[in-house]
Each structure stands twice: as structure tokens, then as C-alpha cells.
Amino acid sequence: MSDVSFLQINRREFLRAGAAISAGIAVGGCAGWPGVQRDGRPNILYLMSDQQRGDCLGCAGNSIIHTPNLDGIARDGVVFSNAYTSTPSCTPARSALLTGLSPWHHGMLGYGRVARRYDFELPRALREAGYYTFGIGKMHWYPERNLHGLHGALLYEARRAETPGFVSDYDKWFKKQAPGLDVRATGLGSNDYRARVYALAEELHPTYWTGQMAADFIERYDKGKPFLLKVSFHRPHSPYDPPGRFMEMYAEDEMPEPYIGAWAKRFATHKEPPAFNLWHGDLGLEQVKRSRRGYYGSVSFVDEQIGRIVAALKKRRMYDNTLIVFLSDHGDMLGDHHHWRKTYAYEGSAKIPMVLRWPRGMGQEESRGTTISEPVELRDILPTLLDAAGEEIPEGLDGTSLLRLVRAGTKRWRAYIDLEHDVCYSVENHWNALTDGEYKYIYHAYDGGEQLFNLKEDPGEIRDLAGEAKYRAVLKAWRNQMVEHFGERGEEFVREGRLVRRPERMLYSPLYPDISSVAMRDAARAPLG
């Protein structure tokens, strides 16, 4: 029994507390028919989880994990089986979502702070197009209340407070709802590899709060124009702390074993940090499975909240006229190749779930319930949502509307997607990569090392082909594509047709809008989320 089981958190009290913290950001207003916008354009429900692996969905072929609500959305839409995040940590991934640009073009090559303003940003573009734009949960922008065109937001930024005096809306709500209780009562850190049952009543969990606030938004919405609602869950990002009933869904014995390649032996040794937040180390199979049990439970908790949000749409008769996209900003290694957390080129870190469901009025019924294998990336979300809204997609974006794949198939799609991350955790963790979903080529910028994996035959990246004579021509072809990809970057990256070692970090490209000594200093000091 929870130590706060005496709290009677009924729906009326919950919504009253939520309304109190969102004063001045009311969603009620113009009268209108439920679910029908005056201009006929669809609502857009933009769902995110944080740090969710691409293989952690039932509809992605995982027979162990319970994600019935996301699987239901997938049956009514499409699953992208080769979806990636080009820069697999929180803030650069969110820059790609915000701008529709590649890392070099939005300027974030690693983990720093999202620029204060870009010339073209998704929320602002849809707001100017007549949408009501609102965000709930983790935005991870800087400053925290810089909303990039959202009309309003209810924020949960985990334990992050980078602006003096900032307190998230969730924390304000928690203090009112549970005075005297400790929001950190479970005792896990924000990048902890351990897993525990959430110590408080599940209605106090930030995952529940995020789902409830989103369902409430939909239930009260009546502006007579379409909305863009971004709902961004912080979990399954650590702490792995689902309520007990979600932990009980899984047995440690049924958790999948980690992929361990012979090439990863050097990452097995580790020094235990006091905060249990190491980035590499062989912690033993028992710990890996325990961590995965908590992680899987966190995914299922998020899935249940998404089910409540979809149910609210259906209750309001909005579902048929709503485009739904679900994705994550990056994955979680969970012990694969003795790695933990993110920022790596490997599948557990860089491959993400992505599901798209479009309104009934858009047609393409024959495409529903299918899987698309072309390589897609977070940069594709902005043009997709503009396309759905009937807005012009500006020239100069690196992303392409995913609805094009739904409508026209795979003709003239990109050949591969580029991935990279600047120095993080260690000077050795500094790399660039390319993948078409079948092969992945990794160039390690620190020492010039290379890796090559056949993802179709070896999805766990256990066998590194880079040193095998049989694959010499394949390796050379991918290396040449990397040289071509770096063509606009100059001699720091390519010299005389050869890739250049880069032992020094480059956190920003010259195209980062806030480029200055102050911005770079501040970004370098930002804690990794």
C-alpha cells in the first residue's frame, strides 16, 4: 500500500488543481460543434515519449511489451520501422522537431541548449496558420517558458531548472495536491540505471499528470478552430519508476538479454559513480533485466495515458478528424554492448519508435495497418504536420512530409539518413554515422575508427564488419558517402577527399542561431537530461 493512500485524489480535485496552475491559459472560448473545425482542417495530436527505444512497441514486433493503445493507433495508421534521431540526446533532437532541419543546419551537433529562436519554427508556423497551439509536459527549451509560438503550456521539466526562479507547473500542482510530501520520495536519480516501484500514489506521478492534463484539454476544448496539442511525456527516461501494477506486468526472467558484441569488451569495466548514472559498464545480467523491467513498466504506463487521451478524442467525436503522430526523441541502451543512457550511434540509442495516423477524410485507407521501411527522422515531423494542415512547406527544410510516403509510396525518397553526436561522457564518444536501415556506417571522429553493421542480418549490431575483407568494398562505398555528406562542412571534416580526425569537440555548427561565446559556454554547462 502506498504511503499516501490516504489521499483522496478525485477527478474534480485533480482538475481544479490543474486549472489553478494554468490560469490565464484557458482553452475554452468560441462555441462550436464537437470535433468539427470551421475551416475543415484536422486537429493535430503530437505525442512524444522520452528515451524510448525503437524496439519497445508491440507494433514494432516486440512480443513482450504491453502497448495496446499505441498498437491500436498503428493499426489505424502506419509504423515506420527505420525511424531515427540524428543526434540522440534530448535537446538537439528537439531542435530537429522544432525546425525540420538536420543537425548541421539547426546547429546543434551535441547536447547543448535549444536556440532561443529559429527563423521558422513549427508551433509558430501553425499558430500563424490559424491553429491553437498548446504544449503539455517536457518541452526542454531554454529559457523554459520560451514557447516558440505555443499559445500556452503546462510544463514538467523533471528536475531541471536552468532559469532562476523557474518552477514547473507539475511541481506547483504536486505541492498543492500533496503538501508535505517529497516529489523525490522514490529515491532514484534522473539518469539512474536502477529501477523501483513509484513510492507515492500513482495519481501523483508525472506520467499520470501529463496524461490527465492532455485529456482535460481535449474534453474542454471549444475554440472553433483546429488545435496542435503537443503532449510530451518524460518517461520512460530514467528514473525507471512505474507504479507497482506496471512493474508487476513483467517478470525479470522474461526481459530480453542485452546485445553484446565482441567489439564492446572494452566498455565492460567501469567505476561506480555515487549517483548510479554511469554511461558504460557490465553490471551483470541480473541488473540489466531489473532495469529493463522498470523501463518496460514505464513504457506501459505512458501507453495507458495515451489511451486515455485517445478516448477523450473519441468521446468528443474528434478522433476521425485528428492526425496523430507518436515518436520519441532518442532511445536508451539499457546495457546493450555494456552501454547505458544515450548519445551513441547504436540502435538502442539512435533508433526510435514512430507511428502516424491520419484522419479518415484524407483517404489512403489501403495504407492503414502497414509498415514503411524507408529511413525517416525527426526532421520529417515539421513538414508532415504542415502538409496535414494544408500549409505550404518552405524551401530549405531538410525534412520531407511522411504523408508523401503514405500517398505515393517509396519513389524518390532519401537513400540514407545521417546521424552524429559531439563529445559526450568521454572524448572517445564523438562520432558520425549513416544508415539506410540495412547497413550502418559509423566514423569515430576522435581516432578515425570505423564500424560497419548489416542491420537486416544483425539488428543487434553484434558483428562489426569493418575489418572483414569480404566487406571492404561496402565499407569504402559508405565512407565515400560520408565524404560527400560532409561536403558543405569544410576542411575540418574532409581534406583531399579523406575524412579528418576531430579529437576536439564542436558543439555547434556555424549555423546555430545563438552562436556566441556566452551561448556556447552556457550550453556546455547544461546538465545532460
In this structure, the number of other CB atoms found within 10 A of the CB of residue 382 comes to 27
> Could you give the CA distance from residue 407 to residue 413 in angstroms, rounded to a whole number?
12
Model pLDDT, residue 527: 53
pLDDT for res 22: 46
Assign 520 a pLDDT band (cuts: 50, 70, 90).
low
Residue 78, CA distances (Å) to 26, 164, 191, 251, 356 in order: 33, 43, 32, 30, 5
468-499 tens-digit pLDDT: 999 999 999 999 999 999 999 999 999 999 99
pLDDT for 403 equals 96
**Tens digit of pLDDT for each residue in 245-285?**
999 999 999 999 999 999 999 999 998 888 899 999 999 99
CA separation for the pair 11, 71 (Å, rounded): 27
pLDDT of residue 26: 44
pLDDT at res. 145: 94
C-alpha cell of 67?
502497448
Of all residues in the chain, the percent with pLDDT exceeding 90 is 85
At the top level of CATH, the class of 11-23+42-416 is alpha beta
State the DSSP H helix or E strand holding residue 332, giving kind and residue range, or none if neither: none
Q: Which residues are catalytic?
A: 90, 140
Which of the four pLDDT bands, split at 50, 70 and 90, describes residue 7? very low
Strands 370-372 and 376-377 come out as unpaired
Q: What is the pLDDT of residues 199-240, one digit of tens each?
A: 999 999 999 999 999 999 999 999 999 999 999 999 999 999
Does 21 have pLDDT greater than 90?
A: no
Predicted TM-score (pTM) of the model is: 0.93
What does pLDDT average to over the chain?
Answer: 91
What does the pLDDT read at residue 400?
97
Single-letter code of the amino acid located at 68: P
Kindly give the pairing relationship between strand 322-328 and strand 43-50: parallel
Domain residue spans in the chain?
Answer: 11-23+42-416
Question: Which pLDDT does position 408 carry in this prediction?
Answer: 82
Residue from 305, 297, 286 nearest 239 by CA: 297
- List, for residues 118-172, the tens digit of each pLDDT value: 999 999 999 999 999 999 999 999 999 999 999 999 999 998 888 899 999 999 9
Residue 509 pLDDT level (bands cut at 50, 70, 90):
very high
How much is the pLDDT for 322?
Answer: 98
CA dist., res. 28 & res. 32, Å (int): 11
Residue 196 pLDDT > 70, yes or no?
yes
Reading the block at residue 137, the C-alpha cell is: 509536459
Q: What's the pLDDT score for residue 31?
A: 29
What whole-number percentage of the chain has pLDDT above 70?
90
Distance CA 21, CA 168 (A): 10
- What does the pLDDT read at residue 529? 64
Average of per-residue pLDDT across 306-324: 98
Look at residue 388 in the predicted model and tell me its pLDDT: 97
- 331-347: per-residue pLDDT in tens? 999 999 999 999 999 99
Q: Supply the pLDDT for residue 528.
A: 64
Q: 524 versus 184: which is more confidently predicted?
A: 184
Q: Using the 8-state DSSP alphabet, how is residue 476 labeled?
A: H
Q: What is the DSSP code string of 413-457?
A: --S-EEEEE--BSBTT--EEEEE-SSEEEEEETTTTEEEEEETTT
Backbone conformation region of residue 293, classed left if phi is above 0, alpha if psi is from -120 to 50, else beta: alpha
Which one-letter amino acid corresponds to residue 294? G
Mean pLDDT of 421-450: 97
The pLDDT score that the predictor gives to residue 112 is 95
Write out pLDDT tens, residues 41-70: 999 999 999 999 999 999 999 999 999 999
Predicted pLDDT at 522? 53
Q: Please tell me the predicted confidence (pLDDT) of residue 374.
A: 96
b/e map 449-458, b = 16+ CB within 10 Å: ebbbbebeee
Estimate the share of the chain in helix, then strand, then coil, as percent rounded to the nearest 5: 35, 15, 50
Q: Assign residue 57 a region: left if phi > 0, alpha if psi is -120 to 50, beta otherwise? A: beta
CA distances to 42, 133, 193, 403, 460 from 282, in Å = 48, 45, 12, 42, 17
In this prediction, residue 40 carries a pLDDT of 82
